[in-house]
Amino acid sequence: MHQPPFRLAVLVADQQPLLDLATVLPSIDAAVVVSLRSAAEAMTLQPGDADLILVLVDQADAMTFREVLLLRPHRVRLPVFVLYRTLNLSNLILACEHGINGHGLQSLESVDLCIGLTAVRRRSLYLCPTIFAALSTRFQQIIDDLSDTSERILSMVAAGASSKTIATLLSVSRRTAEYHVDRLSRTLGAQNRSELAAFWGRISGVEHRAQSIEPRTENREPENREPENREPRTENLRTENRELRTENWEIREPGNKALQRVEHSARCIDTSEC
C-alpha cells in the first residue's frame, strides 16, 4: 500500500551539512513544508502543520546541539528525527534520554532515511544501522569490562536485594555495598536501581522482575479465614468450666443446697443466661 508523502518541518543547525535535501527528499516522496530557523519556532508547530521535524546538526557544536535537546516531547507536538554529521555516542544517548525519537547520520542511504521517517512519524524509536552497530559494540565493551563482583552485585540489585542484603552476601559492610552499587551506576550510566535491573535484563537476555531475595513467609492463611474446629473447642471450654464450677460449689457448700446451686449454674452456662 502506498504511504502518504512525508511533510517535513526542517531545521538546519549545521553550517556544512553532508545531506543534500533538495536531491534526496524527492526520491523518497518527501517535501519540506516548513523551514525552521530555531528550536523556538519548532515549539509553535501544530500537528497539522507537518508530519515530523527533521533536524540536521553537528554534534561538535555544543551550542547547536544544546538547542536540539530543547525539542523534547513535552515542548514540541511533533516527533523529531535528528541527523548527525558525526557520531558521538555520549551525546546520542543524551538525546535519547530527552525523548527524541529518531537518530541517524547525514551519510545514510535514502532507503534508510525513508525507513527512519516512517518509524518516527509513527512515534517509534529509530536508530540507523551505523548507530545501532556502534551502540552494540559499546554495550559489549561495557559487559566485558565488568568484573565478576560487579556482575554479582548487578544480579542482586536486579533481584531486588537491599544494601544490607548485598553486604551480608558479600561479607562486607553496608557502606561498602552502597559504594559498589553507586560506582556500578556511574559506570553504566544508570540513574536508579530500576535502570540497573534493566541493564542486567539485557545482559542475561531475560526480563527480571523486581522481587526481593529476602526470605518471605508463603502459604499464609488469609486473615479473614475462620479457624477450623472452633465450635467443638468452645464446647470443650464450656464443659471444663462446668466441671470447675461444679467442683468449687461442692467444696465450698456441701449438702443438698450445694447440689441445687450446681444444677442452677449448669443451666445458666448451657442457656448463656449467666
259 shares a domain with 197: no
**pTM of the predicted structure, to 2 decimals:** 0.57
C-alpha triplet 20, 27, 12: angle, nearest 5°: 30
Query: In this structure, is residue 240 part of a structural domain?
Result: no
Instruction: Give the position of cell 551550542.
Output: 63
Query: In this structure, is residue 167 part of a structural domain?
Result: yes
- Amino acid (one-letter) located at 7: R
161 shares a domain with 267: no
Residues 6 or more apart whose Cβ sits within 8 Å of residue 75: 43
100 shares a domain with 15: yes
The CATH number of whichever domain residue 73 belongs to comes to: 3.40.50.2300
121 shares a domain with 168: no
Quote the CA–CA distance of 55 and 216 in Å, as a whole number.
53
Predicted confidence at residue 141, as pLDDT, reads: 75
The CATH number of whichever domain residue 188 belongs to comes to: 1.10.10.10
Query: In this structure, is residue 272 part of a structural domain?
Result: yes
Query: In this structure, is residue 217 part of a structural domain?
Result: no
List the grid coordinates of 218.
508463603
Residues 6 or more apart whose Cβ sits within 8 Å of residue 222: none
270 shares a domain with 169: no
What is the per-residue DSSP string for 34-80?
A: EEESSHHHHTT--TTT-SEEEEEE-TT-HHHHHHHTT--TTT-SS-E
Predicted confidence at residue 60, as pLDDT, reads: 79
CA–chain centroid gap for 175, Å, is 26
Nearest residue to 69 (alpha-carbon basis) of 43, 95, 92: 95
94 shares a domain with 166: no
R_g of the chain computed on alpha carbons: 37
List the grid coordinates of 272.
448463656
Predicted confidence at residue 213, as pLDDT, reads: 43
Predicted confidence at residue 205, as pLDDT, reads: 57
152 shares a domain with 126: no
115 shares a domain with 34: yes
Segments forming the whole domain that contains residue 167: 146-204
- Sheet-wide strand order for 6-13: 30-36, 6-13, 52-57, 80-84, 102-105, 126-127
CA–chain centroid gap for 101, Å, is 19
List the grid coordinates of 71.
525539542
Query: In this structure, is residue 214 part of a structural domain?
Result: no
150 shares a domain with 42: no
192 shares a domain with 269: no
Per the rule left: phi > 0, alpha: psi between -120 and 50, beta: everything else, 189 is left
Residue ranges, the chain, pLDDT below 50: 1, 206-218, 230, 234, 244, 246-255, 258-259, 262, 266, 272-274
170 shares a domain with 55: no
Query: In this structure, is residue 24 part of a structural domain?
Result: yes
Write the burial class of residue 77 (CB in 10 Å: 0-12 exposed, 13-18 middle, 19+ buried).
Answer: middle
Query: In this structure, is residue 228 part of a structural domain?
Result: no
Query: In this structure, is residue 197 part of a structural domain?
Result: yes
| 15 membership: H or E segment, kind and range | none
Beta bridge partners, 81, equal 54, 102
User: Do residues 93 and 189 make contact, with C-beta atoms less than 8 angstroms apart?
Assistant: yes
196 shares a domain with 114: no
State the total domains in the chain. 3
User: Do residues 188 and 142 make contact, with C-beta atoms less than 8 angstroms apart?
Assistant: yes
